[in-house]
Amino acid sequence: MPAPEPADDDAPEEARDGLTPRQARRLRVAVATVVLVTLAVVLALRLASRTSVLVVGVYGLAMILCGVVIELSRHGRTRLGTWLLGTGLLAALAADWLLLP
């Protein structure tokens, strides 16, 4: 004789904290896009005040990193993309502070 199935009221509910994977991907793509546009504006302002290959290099690499994060997020690698975006932006800010006059 098969075991009786639990009633709908007794069934354990799956508590879902946080975002769904699809929402997480969209959020990371949106954040990376906003950061990309912000970096483009900062690059234009920095180049207006002082033209330097180093300025273009630092901000250009940060913008490329944002594009990589967008692609990683589109392919479902959101945790890796978040980690890269955070560490990459910290590295770009440190390079701006340490290297650029």
What are the contacts of 91-97 at 24+ separation with CB within 8 A?
A: 92/39, 92/58, 92/59, 92/61, 92/62, 92/65, 95/58, 96/58
Joined tokens for residue 43: 């690059």
**Tens digit of pLDDT for each residue in 14-63?**
556 788 888 888 888 898 899 899 989 988 888 888 778 888 888 889 89
Record the pTM.
0.70
Please give, one letter per residue, the 3-state secondary structure of 27-65: HHHHHHHHHHHHHHHHHHHHHHHCCCHHHHHHHHHHHHH
**Tens digit of pLDDT for each residue in 58-86?**
888 989 998 898 898 888 888 888 899 89
